[in-house]
Every structure is written in structure tokens, then in C-alpha cells.
Structure 1
Amino acid sequence: MGTDSRERMVRSAAYLFRERGYSGTGFRDVIAHSGAPRGSIYHHFPEGKAQLAEEAVRYAGEFLNAGILAATEGGDAASAVDAFTGWWRQVLIKSEFRAGCPVVAVTVESHDDAPQLAAAAAAAFDRWQDTLATGLGNAGVPDDRAARLARLIVAAVEGATILCRAHRDVAPLEDVVTELKAMTREAVKDA
């Protein structure tokens, strides 16, 4: 029961939360999806589903943050928007609009008995915002404006992702991207 099966379970949980949500994903689903041995989930996550979900949120947050970080290095302000939205576009299309953000899924279903889930989600959102703000700042957007724009980007893209799933179309995301890019370019001009 090595760390390989543990990592597979964390990745599988994040993947399943995107489509089924937190409540709709059980240990049995994670075991089946990950191919991990049955007893290993209780060995690796003795505190239960909340522990697995917390780690899945951290994994998803770091995974997307790594993509944002790579794409925003040395780019223009609009590349920060592209960095955050390109992955969501792929997820939506590839999943035929069944998948959304695992961090959002856990956030909207987190309960008072597992406050660590909301804290993990907040940390993921904050990390994305910080990375986007840094990218925007490096592109010439003043720091205070970069922080506000980064929060707007995260909020707008998460909302657009939900609209895309409802409409089964990427048009809401495309519209949000167009407007966010215009705003980021204007922020650089105004600096």
C-alpha cells in the first residue's frame, strides 16, 4: 500500500468531484476509478471522506496553479486570463459539459462538521488569485489593481464554467474571457 495508490486515489477523487460532486462520490467510486486496493483507502485516509476531499482539493488547486504559473511567466496581461481559462475550456468540452471545478464542488457542499474543506478550498482560490495577480503585476498592472482583477478572474471564470455546464456550450466562458482580456489590457494602459 504505497504512496502510488494514495496519489491515484487523491487524483481520482478530484476527477470524480468534478462530475459527481462531493456528496455524489463515495469511497467505493474512488477505489473503482483509481484501481487502488480496497483496504488501502481506509489505510491512507483514516479520518474518512473529508480527509480525502481535503487532499483532493489541494491536489486540484496545485495542479491548476502550476499551469497558471507556467503560462503567466513573461507574458502580457491577457495571457494570465488565457492561462486560467484554457484548461477549463478543455475540461468542459472533453467531458461534454459534465465536469466542472472540483474545488467549487467541495466548497458548495462542505458542511459544518468538516470546516477543513472550506479552508482547503479558500486556500486553493487564494493561491490562484495570488499567482494571477503576480502574472498581472509582471505584465504592468499596478499591484492593488492586479489583486482585484485576479479575484474577478477567478470568480468570473468559475461562474462562467457553471453557466457553460447549464447551457452545454462554451459561449459563456468565451464572453467572459473576451471581457476579462479587455479589462486586463486596459489596466496595463492605465498604469
Structure 2
Amino acid sequence: MNASMTSRDRLIAAMADALQRKGLHGVGLNELLSQAASPKGVLYHHFPGGKTELAVAAIDRVVTRLEGSLAALAEQPEPLQALADWLGQAERLLRDSGFERGCPLATVALESTADDDMLRGALAQGFARLRLAVSGLLERLGIAPPRAQALATLVLSAYEGALLQARVAGDGATMTITTGLLLDLLQHERNNKNPESP
């Protein structure tokens, strides 16, 4: 953990890491505090709602980071290659972690219940922000906005499902296959400039 980070940022980084590896319920408060090198009082000072409020902040941080990586890749002249690179980064991260680090949003979503309003709200906003970012890339392919939004939903759903399956199997083949099929589909969409209907 970076020593120059504020205690609040260290707590958020520790939670984001824990969500990616273990999920919300798989990590204990003491483990988080140890990883963040912070006493319990600091946690409740920054996050009076405790672990749940910290998880919401971590979800926002993860989504912001993913949006940033998509935005950086969107600078490429070829939007389809930018999307391929984004999906490839996720697969590499999963492989490099020994299939330990999946998507923290999916992990928390799978653990959440109907009573977890704060978490589900943060997740819903996070997924909406990511769909918007992916939709923007697809619009650069010349795909009409309503169709791009529908396809962004498909891309994120396939991405999350492939990451989950690859993590469980300990094999990135699912990610590779899913990425290839998504890119084929999007190239077809680009070539046909499908009408505005989803």
C-alpha cells in the first residue's frame, strides 16, 4: 500500500482489493484495517456507516478506475481495438492473479440481498456508468445510440459472466472466446450500421 496515501484512501484501496479477491462477506474488519494500516477509529471517522459505507466508496473507486481505463483506450483511433484491449486487460489481470481477482462489482452483487439498499444502489449506478462508457465507444463505431446502449448491456453482461466462469474454472478460455465473439458481433454491427431499434 502506498505510504503517501491518506488513511481514507488506504481504507478504500484495501476494501477494493478485498472485494476483488474475497467479496464483502469474505473479508473481516481486522484484515481490512491491517491491510490499510489504520486503527478502527479511523474507519468510523471516515465511514460512520462502517464496512458497508466503505464498500460503497470502494465500488465507486473501482468504477471510476474502469471508466478511466475505458476513456484512455477510447483515445485510440480504432474503437473496436480499444474495447478489445479493455477486455484483454481484464483477462490478463485475472490470469496474473492466479484467477483470484475477479470483478469486485460482480462479487458484491452476488452476495447482496434485497435489504442491501446502499450496496445495490452503488452497484446499479456503477453498472450504469460502465454501460454509458461502453456505449460511447460503440457509438464511435457508427452504431446508433439506442442500439449502442443495448449492445453495451450485452457487452457488460458477457464480460461479467465470462470473468466469473474463467475465475471459477481457473482458465481464461471463457474470456478469450467471449471477447472474440463480442468483437465479431460488433464488427458485424459496424458493417451493417443497424437501425436505431435495440
Partner of 1:8: 10
* Distance across 1 between alignment mates of 2:21 and 2:76: 34
CA distance 1:131–1:71, shift in 2 (3 Å) = same
- The alignment status of 1:140 with 2:129, answered yes or no, reads no
CA distance 1:75–1:116, shift in 2 (3 Å) = farther
Q: Could you tell me the TM-score, scaled by structure 1's length?
A: 0.93
Alpha-carbon distance, 1:41 to partner: 1.0
Partner of 2:54: 52
Partner of 1:176: 178
Structure 1 stretch 55-64 or stretch 82-91: which is displaced more? 82-91
Partner of 1:167: 169
Residue-by-residue CA offset, 1:67-124 (whole Å, 9 max, x unaligned): 0111123543422432431231122112100111111111111234430101101111
* Distance across 1 between alignment mates of 2:37 and 2:84: 34
Pairwise CA RMSD:
1.7
Partner of 2:74: 72
- Contact 1:67/1:83 (8 A) holds in 2: no
* Distance across 1 between alignment mates of 2:173 and 2:116: 35
Structure 1 stretch 135-144 or stretch 61-70: which is displaced more? 135-144
CA distance 1:147–1:75, shift in 2 (3 Å) = farther
Structure 1 stretch 21-30 or stretch 79-88: which is displaced more? 79-88
1:144 corresponds to which letter in structure 2?
Answer: P
- Contact 2:21/2:101 (8 A) holds in 1: yes
SS in 1 for 2:107: helix
- Gaps of at least 5 residues in structure 1 are none
Q: Could you tell me the TM-score, scaled by structure 2's length?
A: 0.89
Structure 1 segments (4+ residues) deviating >3 Å: none
Aligned residues: 190
SS in 2 for 1:169: coil
